[in-house]
Structure 1
Amino acid sequence: MFSPIKLASEFQIARPSYSWASGFFSELDRWRGIEGKYIDHLSLSCGKKVLALGPLHEPEDDTKEEENNSNIIKFLNTKDQSSVVYVSFGSEYFLSRKKGKKWHMALPEGFLERVKERGLVVNGWAPQAKILKHPSTGGIASHCGWGSVIESIHYGVPLLALPMLYDQFIHARLVVEVGVGIEILKDEDGQIKREGVAKVINKVVVEKKEVKLLKQKAREFQ
């Protein structure tokens, strides 16, 4: 758990100028349901009323890459309920050359062909909303971009939080605090261990008691 004041002091926003809050009130794409105490603290700090407009997320667009969507949905239709982990780290973070080479070396030639019945790799845009609302999707391994956090909670899908940069670390802490996800922790060198990933996947998808609690909490915010 972490308090609004502690969080603000850590990121040096306790006494900012708040140039954006020029009027009597300000609007933010935030979600009072899960961020109420932090929004109130922000309001007190800047001396303005803050209106949280969220949760805001894009409506589904059925016109985008229908053929690709069809392949994805067909794959999901073959899987048991809540058995699939959707992995997506957004469009702003890319592996370094060193990490990319490490992944390339770790995956043997022909890997994608061998796992196509168990997993699906999507090159290009993926219909995230369609994937998240599909009954076969049991969790999402996410960088915790705000849009992904909102959509995941909206569709009641537990998060496997793996923040990469910017405000994603704050979002990940919030996800854990409100009980809608579990963070995949890195080691002291900042590396992600396969054992750590497997442990969190097991909690989010396999352990029925943990899964029930996470989904129940997500439903409270819907």
Structure 2
Amino acid sequence: MGGANDSMPHFVLVPLMAPGHMIPMVDLGRLLAARGATVSLVTTPANAARIKPLVDGGAEAAGIPIRFVVFEFPCAEAGLPEGCENFDSLPSHNFSKPFFTAISLLREPLETFLREVHPRPSCMITDFCNWWTSEAARELKLPRFIFHGPCCFFILSSHNIYRHRAYDGVEDEFEPVVVPGLPQRIEVSRAQAPGWFAGWEEMQERVYKAEETAAGAVINTFHELEADYVERYAEATGKAVLPVGPLSLCNKDAASRAARGKASSVGEDEVSRWLDGMEPGSVLFVSFGSLVRTQPLQVIEIGRGLESSGRPFIWVIKEAERRCPEVEEWLSEGFEERTGARGMIVTGWAPQMVILSHPAVGGFVTHCGWNSMLESVSSGVPMITWPFFLDQFLNEKLVVEVLRIGVPVGVKIPYHYVGEGGVAVGRDAVEKAIVSLMEGGEEGEGRRTRAKEFGEKAGKAMAEGGSSYENLTLLIQFATEHTAGNDM
């Protein structure tokens, strides 16, 4: 980079090409660049176009350059349809393994870049799923931190389940098993967790071996939220563990918050004006992230639960879900007319951070993806938890059983066990959870108080002198020292 100071650290970030992994990695890059580091972010043409608004709206506007290192994505070589450069663009989950194969094929161009770029990289930060980066780091004698997008509670639980072989001898995949090595009793079934590597034993082994060679872990959480789990994970791995989140809080202005994710299908001003007309804490926000595909009958049951609850709401429905004949027919029968001015349906993508940070929002129905949950925590908003797969069931247990800022809707099994056309939760359970969260008497008031307190702690963690700010300082110091001692 022209004019760069060779004494400053140069971080190379290698995210997993999936929204929930890529967006916080971009936020991390912005924070590092704002502190004076040189940052190169590895991506592909389609993904570069998607994340450019995140950078344009924040880092570049503040004069903080982040360099995109754009590699062609080897779709054809891995057996993927052209254009499938992100996990959420795959036609079906049957393409998951070819997708990870394609990502691993980026090793050669990455090594070439690392050898030739100036200033020389000081440190790599790579998604924990990108196990193949450990080989590149070893070849170039380059220190590497792994980046964990999920919460530390999930990471530690998965680590302990794997290391202690907690599921060995358990034939029923729905039988709850106690997670070893946690400060409290947490039970989870094989079907619920860890889930991501079910049938992926070879990749799982590679991921854990790659973790052993890392200098440490960077996690999108904050110490005050997960102190016990951060400390136990550091003990279990013998590595430095640096919570540096909530990374979403680097988006300080409305434009940056609105730019996270895809382009919104509704204007930020329109949403804000609608929320301005509602009572503080009265609105329920319903959104299930980018990867979840809700079955048509389940969409209808959610709507019926919202209607019978009598509560104001903003409900995000994906375009593919709304186009289903059953959903279109049901909506055409007068749902929007019956809910009137107290309901807003957003088709497509909504400016989630803008909505959650508005004082009118008092609850969030979430799929339990960690980015969404952490945004809710940062905004002091309690949650209704509706897990679907991957880390989401353990995320639910953290929020409901440990932090006590959530109400479970009652989902017990991953969505793919429900089957095509199935319903995991009916309208009555949806209504019951809404009433419990938004009213809930003394228990509900305690939940709201705890959520608000965690929101305040999140802001302090990211502010100068806070725990996450200081952990980022430690990361920069580590890379600076490596730069100073690097004679290559």
1:142 is matched with 366
What whole-Å deviation, never above 9, does each CA across 1:88-124 have from its counterpart, x for those lacking one? Answer: 1011111246756665565452322442412000123
Number of residue pairs matched by the alignment: 220
Residues 18 and 203 of structure 1: CA distance in aligned 2, closer, same or farther (over 3 Å): farther
Kept in 1, the 8 Å contact 2:275–2:360? The answer is yes
- Distance in 2, matches of 1:23 and 1:8, equals 18
2:377 & 2:360 partners in 1: Cα distance? 16
Q: Which residue of structure 2 lines up, in the alignment, with residue 157 of structure 1?
A: 381
Cα separation, 1, equivalents of 2:296 and 2:227: 40
Which residue pairs with 1:33 in the alignment?
A: 224
Q: Do structure 1's residue 47 and structure 2's residue 47 form an aligned pair? A: no
| Equivalent residue, structure 2, for 1:220 | 453
Amino acid of the structure 1 residue aligned with 2:394:
I
Secondary structure of 1:117 counterpart:
helix
Conservation of the 8 A alpha-carbon contact between 2:265 and 2:348? no
Superposed, 1:3-14 pairs within 5 Å as 7-8=157-158, 11-14=161-164
Does the CA contact (< 8 Å) of 2:265 and 2:347 recur in 1?
A: no
Which of 415, 421, 430 lines up with 1:197 in the alignment?
Answer: 430
Task: Give the AA of the match of 1:144.
Answer: C
Q: Quickly say closer, same or farther: Cα 1:11–1:121, change in 2 above 3 A.
A: farther
SS at match of 2:399: helix
* CA distance in structure 2 between the partners assigned to 1:41 and 1:26 by the alignment: 13
Larger Rg belongs to = 2
Of 268, 273, 279, the match for 1:74 = 273
Contact 2:365–2:384 under 8 Å retained in 1:
yes
Instruction: Please tell me the residue identity of whatever aligns with 2:271.
Output: I
The within-5 A match list for 1:49-198 is 49-57=240-248, 59=251, 60-62=253-255, 64=259, 68-96=267-295, 99=298, 103=327, 106-107=330-331, 109-176=333-400, 177-186=402-411, 191-198=424-431
Read off the aligned partner of 1:191 and give its amino acid letter.
Answer: A
Residue 44 of structure 1: CA displacement? 2.0
Matched, 1:210 2:460: no
For 1:98 and 1:66, the matched residues in 2 are separated by 24
Cα root mean square deviation, aligned:
3.1
SS of the equivalent of 2:429 reads helix
The gaps in structure 1 that reach 5 residues or longer are none
Specify which of 6, 22, 32 is matched with residue 213 of structure 2. Answer: 22
Q: More displaced, 165-174 or 57-66?
A: 57-66
Q: How far 1:198 moved relative to its partner?
A: 1.4
Deviation of 1:70 after TM superposition, in Å, equals: 1.9
Query: Separation in 1 of the partners of 2:224 and 2:246?
Result: 9
Question: Which is further off, 163-172 or 121-130?
Answer: 121-130
Contact between 2:254 and 2:354, CA under 8 Å: does it hold in 1?
Answer: no
- Equivalent pair of 1:163/1:172 in contact (CA under 8 Å): yes
Query: Per-residue displacement from partner, 1:182-202 (whole Å, max 9, x unpaired)?
Result: 111037867202222211211
If the length of structure 2 is used for normalisation, what is the TM-score? Answer: 0.40
Deviation at 1:205, TM superposition (A): 0.8
Task: Say if 1:187 and 1:193, in contact at 8 Å, map to a contact too.
Answer: no
- Secondary structure of 1:92's counterpart equals coil
Deviation at 1:24, TM superposition (A): 3.9
Q: Which amino acid letter does the alignment assign opposite residue 194 of structure 1?
A: R
Q: Distance in 1 between matches of 2:290 and 2:374?
A: 16
TM-score, with structure 1 as normaliser: 0.83
Question: Which region of structure 1 is more displaced relative to structure 2, 59-68 or 35-44?
Answer: 59-68
> Helix, strand or coil: the match of 1:164?
coil
- Relative to structure 1, the CA distance from residue 66 to residue 92 in structure 2 (aligned partners, 3 Å threshold; closer, same or farther) is closer
Of Structure 1 and Structure 2, which has the larger fraction of its residues in helix?
Answer: 2
Which 10-residue stretch deviates more, 140-149 or 55-64? 55-64
Q: In 2, Cα distance between the equivalents of 1:82 and 1:71?
A: 19
In the alignment, is the contact (CA less than 8 A) between 1:204 and 1:210 conserved in 2?
no
Within 2, Cα distance between the matches of 1:67 and 1:103?
A: 20
| Paired letter, 2:218 | E
Change in CA separation of 1:178 and 1:208 when aligned onto 2, cut-off 3 Å: same
- Aligned letter for 1:202? V
Of 48-57 and 204-213, deviating more is 204-213
Residues 98, 205 of structure 1: CA spacing in aligned structure 2 closer, same or farther, 3 A cutoff? closer
